[in-house]
Amino acid sequence: MALQEASVAQAVFGPLHRHLAHIQEAFRDPNAPRGAPAYRVTLDAQGDRLTVRARPGGEKDIERVQRIVDALADLARRKGRIREGEVLAAISFSEGDTDKAGPMTLPQLGGLTLRTPRQVHYVEALRDENLDLIFGVGPAGTGKTFLAVAAAVEALKQERVDRIVVTRPAVEAGEKLGYLPGDLAEKVDPYLQPIWDAFRSQMNENDLKARRERRQIEVAPLAFMRGRTLSNAFVIVDEAQNSTVLQMKMVLTRLGEGSRMVVTGDPSQIDLVRPDQSGLAHAISILESIPGVEVIRFAAQDVVRHRLVAHIVEAYHRDETARG
């Protein structure tokens, strides 16, 4: 395979050919006998050329490598660089893609490359105007909140909504808000920093500041939602596992005309004194079958932070299961 452009080849191959190592790892044969080659394909790069060798009858594997490399080359031409996560995304989406005509394209949202099929399903739900309430639940690091913010910004820029409202409960992970200076909004603001980081990934600082001043973007504690009607808004309820049943009912009934709501949370990270009072699982159990409601359940395989995080999540899950 000749990539022809040195800069594209360098981006596709990665520093010290690390990206090629990830691609080759996807073809590891767990059943290979001791002493036999461990991979169904091997990749060797020199200059802008990539040599792919496969076992006899491995034409399908070579075709899959071609799809991965072509997708990454297209990405490199458009973005100039390729991140490790985008390589893993290309590997993931290349599985079972043989029947699709044309080159494989990696799904995008707000300049972000989606990494797993479940993220694609989530984004499709976020963009589906027939769905008014979407639950995104699962472990930390799966992109639940980040993608919800990206979809909200997309809807705001396309003028499908008038404003974005993000809210989360004022419950701390083992810390005491009461000892911090300031009123409730000032106490909670540091806990909202991940939300602002997500917004900054989608717009520049001046645009964000201007939209905040015009009240097009609002981030506030859940307690501030009582008594309000949120019309023509994209509403995100973050860390919903820390809301009580009554709080969840309160915020769900804030929806006004022309609004949509996304509720995100991780049922394994409940910080309430009584975890059995969490409103997230309760809401899903009674609302999931209602038309216009969608529930997306993420798993450890969808974690897109450091690759060690997925193993950490699985280890804690096994420990909790063993403890009963």
Domains, the chain, with CATH or none: 6-106 (no CATH), 117-323 (3.40.50.300)
Query: Tokens 């993000």 sit at which residue?
Result: 166
pLDDT, tens digit (0-9, with 9 covering 90-100), for 57-84: 888 999 999 999 999 998 888 888 888 8
pLDDT in tens, 197-231: 889 989 999 999 999 999 999 988 888 888 889 99
Q: What is the DSSP letter of 33?
A: P
CA 159 to chain centre: 23
For residue 18, give both structure tokens.
Answer: 């690390």
Give every CB contact of residue 303 below 8 A, 6+ residues apart in sequence. 139, 140, 141, 142, 309, 310, 313
Q: Which residue has the tokens 């990665």?
A: 14
Single-letter amino acid, residue 83: R
For 7-52, how does the pLDDT look when each residue is reduced to its tens digit (9 = 90+)? 888 999 988 899 999 999 888 888 777 766 788 889 998 888 899 9
Q: Phi and psi of 62, rounded to 5°?
A: -65, -40
CA atoms within 13 A on the CB side of 304: 24
User: In a 3-state reduction of DSSP, which class is residue 291?
Assistant: coil
Q: Are 136 and 148 in contact (CB under 8 A)?
A: yes
User: Maximum CA pair distance of the chain?
Assistant: 69
110-166 pLDDT tens trace: 778 888 889 999 999 999 999 999 999 998 888 899 999 999 999 999 999 999 999
Alpha carbon distance 200, 206 (integer Å)? 10
- The pLDDT value given to residue 107: 85
- Strand 233-237 with 41-46, pairing: unpaired
The C-alpha atoms of residue 162 and residue 142 are separated, in whole angstroms, by 28
Q: What pLDDT score was predicted for residue 173?
A: 41
- What are the pLDDT digits (tens) for 231-288? 999 999 999 999 889 999 999 999 999 999 999 999 888 878 788 888 999 999 999 9
Q: Quick one: pLDDT at residue 106?
A: 82
β partners of residue 49: 2, 46
Does residue 236 contact residue 145 with C-beta atoms inside 8 Å? Answer: yes
pLDDT digits (tens, 9 = 90+) for 85-117: 888 888 888 886 555 656 688 888 877 888 888
